[in-house]
Amino acid sequence: MLIEQCAYANRWRRVSPAAKALFALSGLVASFAASTPMAAVAVVCLLAAVTWIGAGVPVGRYLRVAAPAFFFLATSCLSLAFSLNLNSDGQALSFQLTPAGLQKVDEVSGRSLGALAALLFLVLTTPLIDLIALLRRLKTPEVLLEIMILCYRMLFVFSDAVHDTLTAQSARLGYATSRLALRSLGGLAANLTVQVWQRAHDLHVAAQARNNDGPLRFLEPTFAHTGRDVALAAAGGSVLIALAVVLS
């Protein structure tokens, strides 16, 4: 996963997650506060520049992570830009490009890109395990945290199983035609489904063997300079929000 690689390998890996989350939150607020395209572009550029230059995330990788979201934005904006006229007399349906629609596209795409840049800043600089630790400090229900921890740890186990099964099936021409592909995929998913119970049972036995029946706690990394980082993030975030408000 590209995001995971960046999250562990960027320059701001050791910066307090609370500070990074605060800055990302300010980015979200700023992108919702920016009401003109000019302000939105400024917010997007600033957030992207901080991620590229500050955290040292490669630009190519950044754009590859954002690509699927661009696809969603493009198709949705297409339907925002064109207005559908259901009651025209001659034809049953007619489409027209309206100025109001185009204005809406400007507004929505500016806001979406700003919010996306804020999200990417957070996820490309902060590993998920740090974010889960942050959620624990924010008093998230223990049941949800437990599901998250187990989900995160089992994710890679399942990915590995999927990868191995796909390789074995492909080697036997399991994906040669779309009919075979559906059959192979069904077999793969059924196999994984059974593994859900087997692996959960194994984890349960392992936990019982260690007398664990309560929360799953792990050592959490400590971050030096948390206070300084949070102060810097608050200052940066305020600048971002002020910029969005002033330019609007």
Partner 1 sequence: MHIMEGFLPIEHAVGWAVASVPFVAYGIGSIKKQIEANLEQRMLLGVAAAFTFVLSALKLPSVTGSCSHPTGTGLGALLFGPAAMAPIGLVVLLFQALLLAHGGLTTLGANLFSMAIVGPFAAVALFRLTRRLRLSFAVSVFIAASLADFLTYVTTSAQLAWAFPDPTGGVVASFAKFAGIFAITQIPLAISEGLLTVVIFNALARFNPQELKDMNVVNPPEVSA
Helix-strand-coil percent breakdown of the chain, rounded to 5?
75, 5, 20
Site residues for partner 1, window 5-24 (CB under 8 A)? Answer: none
- In 3-state terms, what secondary structure has residue 6? helix
Residue 212 vs 225, nearer CB to partner 1? 212
* Contact status, residue 129 vs residue 59, Cβ threshold 8 Å: no
Q: Report if residue 51 touches partner 1, rule: CB under 8 A.
A: no
Residue 128 vs 234, nearer CB to partner 1? 128
Q: Which of 19, 28, 57, 230 binds partner 1 (CB under 8 A)?
A: 28
Output b/e per residue, 53-90; b: 16+ Cβ within 10 A: ebbebeeeebeebbeeeeeebeeebeebbbeeeeeeee
End-to-end CA distance of the chain: 37
Site residues for partner 1, window 92-151 (CB under 8 A)? Answer: 98, 100-101, 104, 108, 111-116, 118-120, 122-123, 128, 131, 141, 143-144, 146-151
* Contact status, residue 218 vs residue 153, Cβ threshold 8 Å: no
Q: Which stretch binds partner 1 (CB under 8 A): 49-57, 69-77, 223-231, 233-241?
A: 69-77
Site residues for partner 1, window 161-220 (CB under 8 A)? Answer: 162, 178, 181-183, 185-197, 199-201, 203-204, 207-208, 213
CA distance 232 to 110: 26
CA distance 161 to 180: 20
To partner 1, the closest distance from the beta carbon of 202 in angstroms equals: 9
To partner 1, the closest distance from the beta carbon of 141 in angstroms equals: 6
Residue 52 vs 158, nearer CB to partner 1? 158
Q: Which of 8, 53, 59, 85 binds partner 1 (CB under 8 A)?
A: 85
CA distance 114 to 95: 29
